[in-house]
Amino acid sequence: MPRLALGLLTALTVVSVTGVTTVAIARERGWSLPRLTAGEPEPQPVTVVLRRGGGDVFAAADDAPSLHLSGILQRQAVAQATIPPFRGTDAQWAGLVRCVQDRFDGYAVEVTDQVPTDGTYSLAYIGGTPDLLGYAETVGGIAPHANRVLPGSVLFVFQPEGVAERALCETTAHEIGHTLGLDHSRDCSDIMSYESCGEKEFRPQAARCGEWEDRDCDDGQPLQNAHGVLAAAVGTRPRRAPEPTPDAPPASADRPAIAVQRSAQAVVGQPFTVTVELSSTDAQTVDLYWYARRGYRLRCGETHESVAFTCHREGSTHTFTLTPTRAGARKFNVRVTDSAGRMTKTPTYRVRFDPAS
């Protein structure tokens, strides 16, 4: 039986230009699976259908894309969910489909938005929010995962407000990757990583597995080569000829730049501050995404039922103050949405809280 693989909203290293999905991540959890003991299986080409129109999905023991049945819903004790359609124009949808196709270019993975007339296919719902399936707001997607190809999977990629197009594309590829046997990677340039340091691909170099900390991979190996796993699992095919791309427009000068400073010391029981300085006062929302065992969105001007914090605003400066009660690693990033609805996001920063002396 497969496990569930959470894809969380993660941070791309893009400052003052665009916002991205991806964020606070819980360790993969869920389903047990007997280990494969036979020889290496033959490559198994797959088809993945991206579903734009949303629709009703029903709980079942096993996934059945043609019947809109999902094992994820059953394991979440959600009898039925109505997934909203993808929110965007025809051009934006076509761009998303092309982007996901590009991520799997060279592998025997057929990515399409048309249901095939015959044969097995996996189905990826694109749209909605994670609360529809009982997940936290920081979860970007969810898919079955079992260290092997799971043909006929049903997976979900969520589309929260402000998510950037590239981030949505990479989250979609990430969740598809789980259905093809890939674990999370610690290489920030790999599609299977929660962290980001630029545009991503399925990396041909071996890297440790893990979410925020290194661990052995779910197949028991210390390292994962995402490219090698995919090539062995589904096979390869010639890459498409690249299409000419137009010059990118310059970044808008109106989008606020963000500068972040944090307390020099991080000690349990002592106030810890994150100061956000904006280049403009035209900010609709200023959010601190704070990751401990799970992720939390802390919005300036609001309270949070699970995390005690304050936020003081003075002009374009916003100061968040928290007082953690447990030692250990944390991560955080900042997202700002302006009056035009455009989101700017910082990279994700790390901090380790020491015990009080």
224 and 299, same structural domain?
no
Element (H, E) at 171: helix 165-179
Q: Mean pLDDT lowest for which of 66-75, 110-119, 165-174, 341-350? A: 341-350
Task: State which residues form the domain around 287.
Answer: 258-353
- Total domains present in the chain: 2
- The answer to whether position 240 is within a domain reads no
Helix axes 90-103, 165-179, angle to 10 degrees: 50
Same domain, 95 and 218: yes
Residue 116 belongs to a domain = yes
- Number of neighbouring beta carbons within 10 Å of residue 265: 10
Confidence check: pLDDT of 32 > 60:
no
**Residue 306 within a domain:** yes
Domain annotation covers residue 35: no
Assessment of whether the complete model's pTM goes beyond 0.75: no
Q: Is residue 349 part of a domain?
A: yes
Which of these, 301, 289, 300, lies nearest to 348 by C-alpha position?
A: 289
Within this chain, do residues 157 and 62 fall inside the same structural domain, yes or no?
A: yes
Percent over 90 (pLDDT), the chain: 59
Same domain, 67 and 206: yes
Structure tokens at 189: 């340039």
31-40, 155-164, 223-232: range with lowest mean pLDDT: 31-40
Encode 165-202: b = buried (16+ Cβ within 10 Å), e = exposed: ebbbbbbbbbbbbbbbbbbbbbbbbbbbbbbbeeebbb
Q: Is the pLDDT of residue 33 over 60?
A: no
Shared-domain flag, residues 203 and 328: no
Residues 136 and 263 in one domain: no
Looking at residue 242, what is its pLDDT?
A: 65
* Domain shared by 19 and 130, yes or no: yes
Residues 6+ apart with CB under 8 A from 282: 254, 256, 338, 339
pLDDT in tens, 177-216: 999 999 999 998 999 998 877 788 999 999 999 998 899 9
Whether 223 and 276 map to the same domain: the answer is no
In a domain, 209, yes or no: yes
Instruction: Tell me: do 217 and 284 sit in the same domain.
Output: no
What is the pLDDT of the chain when averaged over all its residues?
85
Domain presence at residue 239: no
Q: Are residues 176 and 272 in the same domain?
A: no
| Paired tokens of 110 | 């057929």
Greater confidence (151 vs 293) lies with: 151
Res. 94: pLDDT tops 80 = yes
